[in-house]
Structure 1
């Protein structure tokens, strides 16, 4: 071997060694002296309206890891991470939503109540929720699909609900029909991942158009890590899961199904009509001819019944042909609670209290006002009426299908629906 080839080999081996050394070191040491939940807005200089402030140089308060920068540079991915621009001077005003769903439901600001000290011990509630989830994840007598799956064995496509904000060190697993639209808006504002028409990162969550909120390109999710980190993607996921604050919001599983049915089958939705309503009507209503479009179906009063929707969920052919849509897929399949140790578990039933607590815990409560809930929110009290025409046997099978979500997140078994 010539000296030149030997020298090249040593350079390559040395580079590989340095990469592995940095990764291992970062994994062991972590974000030394970093406070991932510090409000960065206090360190930014004032700026005139309409102008985006010049990003500050990276400091010890940045939650963007050095290994991120190193790997981005080494692998030439060129990922840009801007400094945080925040403002709290613009007050939220009444807006006309372009979304049919939001026009129908409307917003309700009146539910925003200020908690008095001592009414709810939020820390104790969180401890109980997390302990309940961990106990059942560790309970060998309670089993459900994917429970014993190792994190490395979860397919990338099943990690697409984990949204990452590297700027604040936050990971949010979104669950459709559990205020996820507004939490996605918050994550866009925090990460500055989307610009408005002036080319400035959105500062007000409610100004972000709904179609942009649910556009996958607006968010950095775990299933995109392979593009950024390549073969190091799983290692980087584990580092961020270890260092960042991870949160999730859940809801009574049966009420979530009602909400999904209402928004996807009772409102005009072309995609859901073609993908789900037509197959349901064709299979369970004994109809050979159904309207070809959602508009024609709505005008003629043709739509799946709630009973047919439940029948569709229970049909073994459904999962064989395609996995459950995310709007009715079980939370344990979306967010992997037994593989990911969540730091905060919020519930839609206590959305105001939990949101206030989480924003304070993340130290971002002064950056913006969390968007309001819908006026026409599906209520838990509707559950008995909606399931009254569902056969008892179906209700019992449906509970078994969603039992893990009931148990892991502390929702009581709906005995009144399962025994009558």
Structure 2
């Protein structure tokens, strides 16, 4: 009888101990609360200078809230919250903390999916345009979403070269031709067209757990670059016409009442553009916040085309230590002449059309400026 009683007491003690362990685990893994708009507003209304993101002026409170928000949507080893202090984070992620707070506020302000709903669920279409823009690397567990007209050819060329997927001896223009001919989808892994034959669940794991990066460009400058490259002279790198953009030129001329073989002026292009559903346009003219869906993907860092070489190389370093742009900085400066043409092209736009354009681009301009307020003078 005494032995049976002792066994019963021992059993009860073991059960109590196991219950305590279970309770402790629940506390440890309790779902974090979401970042409330009021908290974000309190952070964003704290006095700050225009160069806050570049000087990495992120308050401890902002870091704490961003960590909390990020934990709610991307619990993985490569997310920034694994560090206990801002000073311990790599610079690219320290800058990204400030940016992620801005993006969260933008998304919540306009009713887009906020940080608690950023990452796609299992029902999300993996063959949508946004996933076709995502290049990932399993070894470094990094993901890059490329934007058309934001140095994407340079970035893709570099990543392809680093994986020995295109010959290193190819001249720059032949590398571009290689990409234009859609060999990228067959040569390097993307979320939509993958060589790994991933299941949707595996794709979901990649976009939830890998380090995520993208690069943005001022909307007006990007639009002008797309016009020059695709409308004014729609040629591929080997000199052959791009049939889609040839047809688009005809459609623009017809819509603006111009007939014959006339060239499409910049004003005619803008007049046609503001009459379209901007979100349903070709990827070269589509808003950047739609191309890579930052309100769903919660990127760890947004590079700026104004600092393309520096930011691109910082991103490439995450893919492979020591990896640098394949195309020289001098080439980038040559292609950046679009910024020098900004004033001359937009100076000829009539006030009514300029107003319509700004209304059409209002969300994209706001999105860009919330990340890079120091470039607001370009608008």
Q: 1:416 to 1:391 in 2, by over 3 A?
A: farther
Partner of residue 190 from structure 2, selected from 197, 221, 226: 221
* Residue 151 (structure 1) aligned to one of 95, 120, 130: 120
For 1:319-350, what per-residue CA distance to the aligned partner results, in whole angstroms no more than 9, with x for missing partners?
6xx93111111111110101101122111101
| Distance of 2:374 and 2:224 partners within structure 1 | 17
Among 205, 211, 215, the residue aligned to 1:249? 215
How far apart, CA to CA, are the structure 2 residues paired with 1:314 and 1:401?
6
Report the CA distance shift for 1:355/1:149 in structure 2 as closer, same or farther (over 3 A): closer
Cα deviation, 1:253-301, whole Å, max 9, x if unaligned, reads 01100111111123252225422111111221431x33xxxxxxxxxxx
Cross-structure match for 2:19? none
CA RMSD across the alignment = 3.7
| Alignment partner, residue 177 of structure 1 | 149
**Equivalent pair of 1:177/1:260 in contact (CA under 8 Å):** yes
- CA distance in 2 between counterparts of 1:146 and 1:241 reads 17
Residue 332 in 1 paired to residue 289 in 2?
Answer: yes
What runs of 5+ residues in structure 2 fail to find an aligned partner? 1-73, 79-90, 236-240
Paired residue secondary structure (1:247): strand
Q: Which residue of 1 aligns with 2:265?
A: 305
Alpha-carbon distance in structure 1 between the residues aligned to 2:112 and 2:75: 35
| Alignment match, 2:358 | 399
Return the TM-score normalized by structure 2.
0.62
- Aligned mates of 2:103, 2:253 — CA distance in 1: 38
* Partner Cα separation in structure 2 for residue 405 and residue 328 of structure 1: 11
2:168 maps to 1:211: no
Q: Tell me the matched-pair count.
A: 277
| C-alpha displacement of 1:160 | 1.2
Unaligned runs of 5+ in 1: 1-27, 33-120, 197-201, 291-301
TM-score by length of 1: 0.56
- Distance in 2 separating the partners of 1:236 and 1:258: 38
Aligned-pair distance for 1:368?
6.9
Secondary structure in 2 aligned to 1:132?
helix
Structure with higher helix content: 2
Contact (CA 8 Å) 2:157, 2:175: kept in 1 or not? no
Match of 1:384 among 337, 343, 355: 343
Matched, 1:283 2:255: yes
